[in-house]
Structure 1
Amino acid sequence: MAKDPYAVLGVSRTADADEIQRAYRKLARKHHPDVSRDPDAADRFKEIGEAYSTLSDAETKARYDRFGADFRQYAGSGAGPAGGTPRWGSGGPRPGPRPGRGGYGDVGVNRGGDVDWEDLLGGWFRQQGAGPAQGADHEAELRLTLEEAIRGGRRTVRLAQPGGETRNYDVDVPAGVLDGQRIRLAGEGAEGRDGGPSGDLFLTVRIQPDPRYRLKGRDIHFDLPVTPSEAALGAKIKVNTPAGPVTITVPEGSSSGRRLRLRGQGLPDPKGQAGNLYAEIRVMVPPRLSSQVRKLYEELAAASDFHPREGLL
């Protein structure tokens, strides 16, 4: 059974001609066999063309809306809106690309929607016949640790090629690169046709999660465990961070949740201000106490007049 053309194009039954045309153009670009690497691209492309041929012609669309998948048998029968043989002029379907170099069979395209293949695919069919054509762009992911994103520098990336082989690419990673940022390697995409320029390779940066740190934009957050005495008396604590070792001053009387900022110690920004490093205090107590330490805690409890729950009781 033929697929519902509305479902193929992803539009509702109330879609107007402009919506149908926009949906068709988007899908045709995506699934054209010269663009898509999907092995079923040619069949999908033909299916999209047939769906558009049905819905872009007002008479054909009306027959489909009335009779469903059997609409073709009512063409010209008088049982529904006037039909008849396809029209290859300005009012009916016209052939799509013919078999041959780069061709993928006959795909009906209705002129009623004013679809121009030259415009739709950027001159693809003209370029296939003669003249140079630029190669397609390729995309891949570049996975970095937080430390690598901060430092930047030159990296070698190995990527699989269409033929199953692998190839190494040298990439200059800018210091402070953000998650989702793209790095362009000019001319490293698909080769052009007939002497045309190669496409580009775009690497999308993905910064890997780190259990120690939380990245928010260019700011880096992490938990700083401290002892009760360090929190109460204050301390200078040396810790390792993604950017290297730093010394953090814990003010006396610090409770869990207090956030300390180290300005400019986050992700660098070549075009502006670097992010900050935020240490959030977590007061930790020993899970087991020696008899001596227990005695000292008991003495402290007896001497202290601090009441953290005042107002809650």
Structure 2
Amino acid sequence: MEFKDYYTLMGLARDASQGEIKRAYRQLARKYHPDVSKDPDAESRFKELGEAYAVLKDLEKRAAYDALGSGWKAGQDFRPPPGGNGSFEFSGGGEGDDGNADFSDFFASLYGRRSGHSQTAGGAYHARGQDHHAQVSIDLEDAYRGATRAISLQTPEVDEHGRVHLRRHTLKVVIPRGVRAGQHIRLAGQGMPGMGKGPPGDLYLEVAFHLHPHYRVEQRDVYFDLPIAPWEAALGATLAIPTPDGQVDLKIPAGAVAGRKLRLKGRGIPGATPGDFYVVLQIALPPADSESARDFYAGMAAQFPSFDPRPSAGH
């Protein structure tokens, strides 16, 4: 996705004060409000300004944006670092704090789409601390077996002079067996400290999976692309298939075609109703990189003169 320079959108320097940010937004919002502006791009410009302001007015979000976005220019292809290392911890509910704002995928990639958890007050002088939220990435294998992992988080904090800085801290987290992407792991008492004798809030970790070199994940189902030779597809074979939970022997039926899915029931991510593991067949052709190989392919063409690989192409 493209990097969005929120400072440029609002015509601000990166060291702009919070007062300058507020004044710039008010001026531009009046200028581009769809009910006032005759600019054909007013509506999209107004939405972009709202998204930029939602980040820059919030000291926590602004600190995270400044740390992740330094050195990037508007329009450059941007991928934020994985949530498992250096994730940002936020008070409140992330995007939920801004109501139903129509924010972009770029915004969501930085701050997530999390639901809020309300602060519970315990009295005039004693109040429970706010819950905190962060996103973390884990290995798919951790969801199969469970694990204990050290996770490093960065928490934006404001010092006595009103400056924002990042505090890094490390937590030991138990990854439960069977956790899915999008689920939350609750760490009781790891949120913001309470006021007076009020208890601390909790920390909610939203789980994502690291990109895996071999597997794709959909809910609890796991997909694996398996290259097979033409003779294995034509004649059938029994092959050893690697899964996140160990090797499994799989029978490839004779006459298999590319794209066919073979299901290993219950071999997906564990759970009360476990997911399935799907092997997606891909036919790999030997290269015609020698005269004998080319003669072999020519012989195949002669052997199957009536074979039509494109029967539905309408020719």
Specify whether residues 263 and 2 from structure 1 end up closer, same or farther in structure 2 by C-alpha distance, changes over 3 A only: closer
Distance (Å, rounded) in 1 between the aligned partners of 2:62 and 2:252: 61
Distance (Å, rounded) in 2 between the aligned partners of 1:222 and 1:151: 19
1:143 paired residue among 137, 162, 170: 137
Distance (Å, rounded) in 2 between the aligned partners of 1:132 and 1:301: 83
Which residue is equivalent to 1:180? 182
Q: CA deviation at 1:296?
A: 4.0
With the length of structure 1 as denominator, give the TM-score of the two structures. 0.56
Distance (Å, rounded) in 2 between the aligned partners of 1:168 and 1:248: 42
1:196 partner amino acid:
G
Distance (Å, rounded) in 1 between the aligned partners of 2:285 and 2:218: 29
Which residue is equivalent to 1:212? 214
Equivalent residues in 2 for 1:92-103, closer than 5 Å: none
Distance (Å, rounded) in 2 between the aligned partners of 1:281 and 1:2: 56
Specify whether residues 122 and 226 from structure 1 end up closer, same or farther in structure 2 by C-alpha distance, changes over 3 A only: closer
Q: Deviations over 1:274-306 (max 9, x none)?
A: 111111111111223444444444444433466
Distance (Å, rounded) in 2 between the aligned partners of 1:212 and 1:167: 32
Unaligned runs of 5+ in 2: 1-22, 36-53, 64-117, 158-164
Distance (Å, rounded) in 2 between the aligned partners of 1:267 and 1:232: 31
Distance (Å, rounded) in 1 between the aligned partners of 2:132 and 2:154: 11
SS of equivalent residue, structure 2 residue 231: helix
Distance (Å, rounded) in 2 between the aligned partners of 1:293 and 1:123: 74
Structure showing greater relative contact order (alpha-carbon pairs closer than 8 Å, 6 or more residues apart): 2
SS of equivalent residue, structure 1 residue 257: coil
Distance (Å, rounded) in 2 between the aligned partners of 1:229 and 1:185: 53
2:183 partner amino acid:
Q
Does residue 156 (structure 1) correspond to residue 150 (structure 2)? The answer is yes
Which residue is equivalent to 1:95? none
2:142 partner amino acid:
E
Aligned residues: 209
Q: Deviations over 1:127-152 (max 9, x none)?
A: 5xx53111111111121122222222
Which residue is equivalent to 2:240? 238
Which residue is equivalent to 1:274? 274
Percent identity over paired residues: 36
Distance (Å, rounded) in 1 between the aligned partners of 2:279 and 2:25: 58
2:258 paired residue among 250, 256, 259: 256
Q: CA deviation at 1:218?
A: 0.8
Specify whether residues 228 and 138 from structure 1 end up closer, same or farther in structure 2 by C-alpha distance, changes over 3 A only: same
Specify whether residues 12 and 196 from structure 1 end up closer, same or farther in structure 2 by C-alpha distance, changes over 3 A only: farther
Which residue is equivalent to 1:111? none
With the length of structure 2 as denominator, give the TM-score of the two structures. 0.56
* Conserved? CA contact 2:261–2:280, under 8 Å: yes
SS of equivalent residue, structure 2 residue 239: strand
SS of equivalent residue, structure 2 residue 232: helix
Specify whether residues 291 and 123 from structure 1 end up closer, same or farther in structure 2 by C-alpha distance, changes over 3 A only: closer
Distance (Å, rounded) in 2 between the aligned partners of 1:160 and 1:137: 15
Q: Deviations over 1:11-33 (max 9, x none)?
A: 998xxxxxxxxxxxxxxxx99x9
Distance (Å, rounded) in 2 between the aligned partners of 1:190 and 1:281: 50
- Determine which structure has more spread, i.e. the larger CA radius of gyration: 1
Distance (Å, rounded) in 2 between the aligned partners of 1:3 and 1:141: 29
* Conserved? CA contact 2:128–2:200, under 8 Å: yes
